[in-house]
Amino acid sequence: MVKKPTSPSVSKSLGGEFGLIRELLAPLAQNASALGLRDDAAVFTPPSGYDLVISTDALVAGVHFPSPAEASLVANRALACNISDLAAKGATPAGCTLSLGLSPDWEAAYLRDLMTAFGRGLNAWGLELWGGDTVRTPTSFLSLTVYGLVPHGKMVQRAGAQMGDDVYVTGVLGDGWLGLQQELGEQKHLEDVRKAYSDPQPPLALGQKLVDIATSSLDISDGLMADLDHLCLASGVCMDIQLSDIPYSGAGQAYLHAGGALERLLGGGDDLQIGFTAPPEKAAALTALAQATQTQLTKIGRVTCKAGAGDGPTTRAVLRSQSGAEIALETRGYRHF
């Protein structure tokens, strides 16, 4: 290691890395795999007949969440961005490992709040904390890796959408971005949707049932059209999305009615809903599933071509008005770089 310690809060108030682990992390890791967070590694015995689904999302202070931000917002979002991936894959959460980069401005009280909220989230999502690493850094980050289980061979991939499938999304779109704007002090005249950003609720209960229903699926995290483009590319299909069918909250509708930019609402990202395809004959099963899991579910389009079929359209999602005209969007989603 190159540099000497510089974080007074962790080194003094919490008694260093080992104090931090003992006081704040080990209480969240009362499970067999974690070995009390006192070993070099975690150990997990995978149940036979299941595949392990692994997803990682890293969140950097000031890039992926405002800095400073409420500790609960940071913990909630770190968990939700990963849970939405498991939900989209049809996986049941099992465990996670957390790599925590701590900058000197994250004081002991803040870390306590962060870990309290993180523990609450672990319980809510049914995730065990198995291990991780804590390091000093000039800019705080959380890199969370989550592990889920699906019956062998059943993970719902991005590849798999079929010609004629219906396209669905869960929840409402745009509130992730709108909620963030409200956190930042903008759009405060609209109904308060900050919780959609600060405490997102990916549709895990519905997602877990998709293994027998969906042909393809992904989480909507960058922006609806950008994400559906990825699904089209992976599946080798194109799809039509009906603008008038896209579900918004009251706040989202009001934003648009007041002349707000569709591209910002749809392409701002952070919704953590899921988008998937399923054959039309699954419609009744999906309606029942949406009711049983109390999840808003909306059919927004249809897979309209198979790539390589010869007649031209590229593998992407096309947004259409009620007249059928294509609506071109300059920004289809958040660009990470």
Residues 95-154 that bind its own copies (CB under 8 A): 97, 99, 101-102, 130-139, 141, 143, 145, 148, 150, 152
- Give min distance, CB of 46 to its own copies, in A: 4
Number of residues that bind its own copies (CB under 8 A): 80
For residues 227 and 236, give the distance between their C-alpha atoms in angstroms, rounded to a whole number.
Answer: 14
For residues 28 and 26, give the distance between their C-alpha atoms in angstroms, rounded to a whole number.
Answer: 5
Side-chain half-sphere of 264: how many Cα atoms within 13 Å?
Answer: 12
- From candidates 28, 73, 86, 228, binder to its own copies by CB under 8 A: 86
In the complex with its own copies, the residue whose CB is nearer, 128 or 166, is 128
The long-range contacts involving 176-181, CB below 8 angstroms and separated by at least 24 positions, are 176/200, 176/268, 176/269, 176/270, 176/271, 176/272, 177/264, 177/265, 177/268, 177/269, 177/270, 177/271, 178/249, 178/251, 178/252, 178/255, 178/265, 178/268, 179/270, 180/66, 180/268, 180/270
- Give min distance, CB of 153 to its own copies, in A: 8
- The pair of structure tokens assigned to 7 is 């974080």
- Give min distance, CB of 121 to its own copies, in A: 19
In the complex with its own copies, the residue whose CB is nearer, 16 or 313, is 16
Look up tokens 């804590």; give the residue. 134
In 10 A of CB 9, how many CB atoms?
17
User: Pattern 159-198, binding to its own copies, x per CB under 8 A?
Assistant: x--------------------x---x--------------
Stretch that binds its own copies, among 93-101, 246-254, 278-286, 288-296 (CB under 8 A): 93-101
Segment 299 to 328, residues that bind its own copies, using CB under 8 A: none
Segment 218 to 277, residues that bind its own copies, using CB under 8 A: 218-219, 230, 233-234, 269-270
In the complex with its own copies, the residue whose CB is nearer, 40 or 281, is 40
- The pair of structure tokens assigned to 106 is 């994250």
Stretch that binds its own copies, among 46-54, 244-252, 254-262, 294-302 (CB under 8 A): 46-54
